[in-house]
Amino acid sequence: MTEKIIDITGSYFVDNDILVMFWEREAGWQVVNSGCSLIDEKYYINDGLAGLKSIVSEKDRIGYERLINNLRECVNGRSEGILQNKRNLSFSFSMMTVKGYYSDFKITLYLKFHKNEYLSAALCRVEELDPEESYRYQLAKVITNDKNPESFNREVKKLFEQNPDKDYALIQFDIAGFKLINQQYGESVGDEILEYIINTLKYVCNDQQLYVRLTADVFMVVTPYSEKNELLDFIENIRDLLQGYKDIEYRLVFGINFVKDKTKNLRKFGDGAAFARQSIKNNALKYVAFFEDNMEKTANNKKWIEDQMEKALNKHEFEMFLQPKFSISSEEVVGAEALVRWMHPEKGMIPPMDFIPLFEKNGFVVKLDRYMWEEACKCLANWKKEGKKMVPISVNVSRKHMQNDTYLEYLEELLKKYDLEKKYLEIEITETLDDIAVSRGIEELKQRGFTLLMDDFGTGYSSLNMLKDTQFDVIKIDRGFLNNFIESDRGKSIVRHTITMTHDIGLDIIAEGVETIEQARFLNECGCEIAQGYYYAKPMPLSAFNEKYASCI
């Protein structure tokens, strides 16, 4: 008999019958026990997947192909695709019976390796699932979280009751940036990837591992484990099998939570796995995280902020604070930076670090920036109306705005609305490198006549090459750069030469975070004329700024 790969799609099953075939390297495939009606030999031993479309359901095809191809590699002496410590592989699928309707079946491959080097024998068992197994299989194919979460929970509870001595963990994973895949390749390709994942889980998971698709691209596996490394090995196997569907690049992110009390609602532990997964969604260097208690608090705080942000904006809970900029030599106020503070009616002041990074990620910073721009314009208009000496206010423009040009027209309209010259509304943008959209936005702002300040110089992507090509008018030395370098003679020399070089190429410079008179004197000696920081004044409400510096403006 010719040695080929078995293709069970050619076997028309009689209900409740079992097909068992055995393969040996010397003898090839042999029928061990069969109650099936075999049409002819080509359906018994079939090289390839003939008849697949008419027999195996469309949705099960990817997982079935993976199983057959994996077995083919083992027969040909290449077993890298199968973990050497895994001696059986299972896959459930729907297939047409001899009576002409679809039923659910399971293939189990029992593998034997010769000295862990090559596959020497394999037992292939195909059987129809019993009603309970079929129910679990069909449940795993649907999105359960929104439709019927209790069904999956009941199955997990049964699993726990049947295995009281085993420890279990929940592994939740999704595709980072899945919406972008839909946008770039189309929703049909996105659906194919999701089907590819569920079919691979059918193939990877054994009878003791329940899996489910929770939402669009979020999947969860309930699995027993003995030690942590087992979970990591299982995740590595999933990643290896799922990477690069049709050469499409995507990143899977996993969160793990241990089931510490099997009597509690599964949702609690699922939420923990979700917290772990979400904690690294924006970390390109990590793809697995274990749940920690502080993650729930962080996630709850994030949700609270996102629930409150629109309401807070409408109720003017965000307040503009001003931090004055001083001439070091004359100690006169020569400008101010607008900084946002969230004054919540119950929680009091919420620190910017608690909400600004989140707003940068979820895009709300665009609305908040526009709000702050108008607050600054109102302030400048009042100074003008009251006949006070005008000093410029610098406002932050997030890089999120650079994705389209609407912010430029918005800034222009604000200046027109409040009858202000552009020199009084300065633009601060955090330094960046090799970002085409930001570079284009900076160039457009410059062409329109705005004064541009590079914020946080000395951190992140600072480079001499960037200074050579910059469109900025003013460089703001970051407080960290100042504090780190001013402690030693060599560091002071670097700061001194940085200031001299900046002046030589025609840029002004402002030092942030000046906290002592010694720092102020050193900067003045180096040629830095303008500074801001706690030595001079902390950020303050507009009313306090007007009262304290009324004589200066």
**Per-residue model confidence as pLDDT tens digits over 407-420:** 999 999 999 999 99
Provide mean pLDDT across the span 222-226.
Answer: 94
pLDDT tens profile 196-210: 888 888 878 887 898
As a whole number, mean pLDDT of residues 532-539 equals 94
pLDDT at 404: 78
- AA letter at 321: F
Beta bridge pairs of residue 102: 96
Closest CA to 205 of 95, 108, 78: 108
pLDDT range class, residue 25, cuts 50, 70, 90:
low
| The pLDDT value given to residue 53 | 35
Mean pLDDT for the chain? 79
CB 106 within 8 A of CB 95: no
* H/E stretch holding 379: helix 365-385
Mind giving me the DSSP string for 107-161? EEEEEEEETTTEEEEEEEEEEEPPHHHHHHHHHHTSB-TTT-HHHHHHHHHHHHH
Distance, CA of 535 to CA of 515 (rounded, Å)? 4
* Dihedral Cα 278, 281, 283, 284, nearest 10 deg: 150
Reported confidence tier of residue 142, pLDDT bands at 50, 70, 90:
low
**Alpha-carbon distances of 115 from 28, 112, 120, rounded to whole Å:** 20, 9, 9
CA-to-CA dists, residue 9 to 89, 126, 343, angstroms: 17, 11, 67
498 vs 12, residue with greater confidence = 498
Which tokens belong to 442? Answer: 């900076």
pLDDT for position 324: 95
In this predicted model, what pLDDT tens digit does every residue of 99-129 receive, in sequence order? 555 677 777 777 777 776 677 777 767 677 7
What is the set of domains in the chain, with CATH numbers? 8-129 (3.30.450), 133-291 (3.30.70.270), 309-547 (3.20.20.450)
Return the HEC string of 469-530. HCCCCEEEECHHHHHHHCCCHHHHHHHHHHHHHHHHCCCEEEECCCCCHHHHHHHHHHCCCE
pLDDT digits (tens, 9 = 90+) for 237-274: 999 888 778 788 889 999 999 998 888 878 778 888 98
Phi, psi of 29 (to 5 degrees): -85, 140
Write down the pLDDT at residue 344.
95
Question: CA–CA separation, 258 vs 228, rounded Å?
Answer: 10
- CA separation for the pair 133, 139 (Å, rounded): 10
Return the closest-CA partner of residue 287 out of 240, 230, 353, 247.
240
Euclidean distance between CA atoms 495 and 486, whole angstroms: 7
Share of the chain above pLDDT 70, in %: 73
From residue 60, alpha-carbon distances to 91, 122, 144, 195, 395 in Å are 10, 23, 19, 8, 56
